[in-house]
Chain A
Amino acid sequence: MMTELPHARDELPRTRGPQPHTRDALLPPTPSQTVGPFYGYALPFPGGGDLAPAGAPATLTVHGQVYDGAGVPVPDALIEIWQTDPAGSTAGAPGSLRHDPVTGNVVGRDGVRFTGFGRVPTDADGHWTVRTLAPGAPRPGAVPYLSVLVFARGLLHHLHTRIHLPEHAEALAADPVLGALPPERLGTLLATRERERLYRFDIRLQGEKETVFLDFPVG
């Protein structure tokens, strides 16, 4: 029987049929806890910020600092990136944490496949950098972006935000939800172009220019 199956990834938000229909029937989720200060020997991995295949001519560098509510750089935050490939696909690929089978050490990506996933810790000055390819629009006409997760000691639950490139500022302002934000708030979701292929995106956890963080109704 050749029923056409939806792509596995599309199943998640679109499941219908004989499922529990109320929140009460859903299993309660495991609560979040802070990543703490000592993840550094476990979660970061070699090449974690190098999403772009080595030598890819269209590589973009995106970097920035994470600041706390006093404007002090956060030296122990962890940034994760998930994004579409330049064609707009969210399929991703394995291999972000490719291991050397002899030593068992992570040796970095294979230099060919684009996994769409990156992870970098901030340095002593709260600074992080990723090298990646421009994200493609996830559907025709949509605004492309890099999805960002922020983890840190002191953050009991991680934070979602998005990096948009400045060339998409107008399209972002037309977004029915995000476009309704006051311009100075919306601006926190835009990277600034420092020079050709170099973009800056600072993250302010709290305070006057606090970054816009996002929430997804996932349960």
Chain B
Amino acid sequence: MSTPPTQTDIDAEIATAHARAQEGTRPQGRTRAQTPAQSPIRTRVAGPEARHHPPRDFPPYRSSALRFPRQRPVPLSDPEAVELTGPVFGVTDVTALDSDLTRHHQGAPLGERITVSGRVLDRLGRPVRGQLVEVWQANASGRYAHQLDQHPAPLDPNFTGFGRCLTDDEGRYAFTTVKPGAYPWRNHTNAWRPAHIHFSVFGEAFAQRLVTQMYFPGDPLFPYDPILQSVTDQAARDRLVAAWDHTLTVPEWSLGYRWDIVLDGPAATWFEEGRE
């Protein structure tokens, strides 16, 4: 077996992958100027859209190597596709306590108590109402309540670390939890994940489904993490980082972070069609 890569190796791979992504997206204007015959619509689709989400093939994240499809996904624009609708959730699917991760056990968990709140919107800025938001995270020491997490940090008998809620009429969600710890993983030697909370979000359409991770502002681990850095555009990475929000703090109780989520859709191509 070859020696595991070092952080320096991974840093270099991330830099290469970012440079390649820039190369692929930068020539927006230039491409058009150089090849005036090319459809501007095609340029748009291939260009900035591709930068919002990480590529599925991102070599510095070693687990992606055998799990990314090599064939391009087949685009479907059927207006009747079942994926343009989605599952519904209601009062039976959550309880009030589900959104307070600090109250799932008899005692209070260790750590910095925080409120995380924000709005779920579509790309037109419309609130995504009554939809399910689920979160899971490590405890304050950076350990998941999962048998396969063997990081020698303490488990907390008063913290499991998952919650759910439904968005309200403004698309708002809110969770009370503790700030998760950073933790090591085995992507490369001395790899550390920045503290993060996993989010699973439903839109009105199955095609809007999003699973992602929220990070905390100012974390010094950001540049070293191949998962965050798999998003090759800095502005897009910034959208994964919550903002400190003093108005969300609860006096004598918890610190506050704000994080808004924008789901894909509705399909821009459809109003472009409508416009012509």
Encoded as 1 (CB less than 8 Å from any A CB) or 0, chain B from 224 to 242 comes to 0001101100011101100
> Which residues between 69 and 123 of chain A lie within 8 Å of chain B, taking CB atoms?
69-70, 72, 74, 80, 82-84, 90-99, 101, 104, 110, 115-117
Which chain A residue has the least Cβ–Cβ distance from B162? Answer: A42
In the complex, the answer to whether B74 meets A214 with C-beta atoms within 8 Å is: yes
In the complex, the answer to whether A42 meets B198 with C-beta atoms within 8 Å is: yes
In the complex, the answer to whether A83 meets B211 with C-beta atoms within 8 Å is: no
In the complex, the answer to whether A215 meets B74 with C-beta atoms within 8 Å is: yes
Which chain A residue has the least Cβ–Cβ distance from B129? Answer: A8
Which chain A residue has the least Cβ–Cβ distance from B166? Answer: A94
- The answer to the question of B191 belonging to the interface, with a C-beta cut-off of 8 Å to chain A, is no
- The answer to the question of A165 belonging to the interface, with a C-beta cut-off of 8 Å to chain B, is no
Given the known inter-chain contacts A13-B84, A68-B66, A138-B80, please indicate yes or no for A99 contacting B93, CB distance below 8 A. Answer: yes
Residues of B within 8 A of A115 (CB): 87-88
CA separation between A159 and B74, bound complex, in Å? 11
In the complex, the answer to whether B54 meets A26 with C-beta atoms within 8 Å is: no
> Which residues between 14 and 70 of chain A lie within 8 Å of chain B, taking CB atoms?
14-16, 19-23, 26-43, 68-70
In the complex, the answer to whether A33 meets B212 with C-beta atoms within 8 Å is: yes
Given the known inter-chain contacts A145-B82, A160-B73, A205-B68, please indicate yes or no for A104 contacting B267, CB distance below 8 A. Answer: no
- The answer to the question of B32 belonging to the interface, with a C-beta cut-off of 8 Å to chain A, is no
Which chain B residue has the least Cβ–Cβ distance from A101? Answer: B95
In the complex, the answer to whether A33 meets B54 with C-beta atoms within 8 Å is: yes
- The answer to the question of B175 belonging to the interface, with a C-beta cut-off of 8 Å to chain A, is no
Which chain B residue has the least Cβ–Cβ distance from A99? Answer: B95
> Which residues between 209 and 257 of chain B lie within 8 Å of chain A, taking CB atoms?
209-213, 227-228, 230-231, 235-237, 239-240
Given the known inter-chain contacts A38-B144, A41-B145, A219-B267, please indicate yes or no for A82 contacting B227, CB distance below 8 A. Answer: no
Top 8 A-B pairs ranked by shortest CB distance? A94-B90, A154-B63, A42-B136, A117-B87, A42-B162, A218-B265, A154-B67, A215-B73
B-to-A contact residues, CB < 8 Å: 44, 48-49, 52-56, 58, 61, 63-95, 97-98, 104, 121-125, 132, 134-136, 138, 144-146, 148-149, 160-162, 164, 198, 200, 204-213, 227-228, 230-231, 235-237, 239-240, 261-272, 274-275
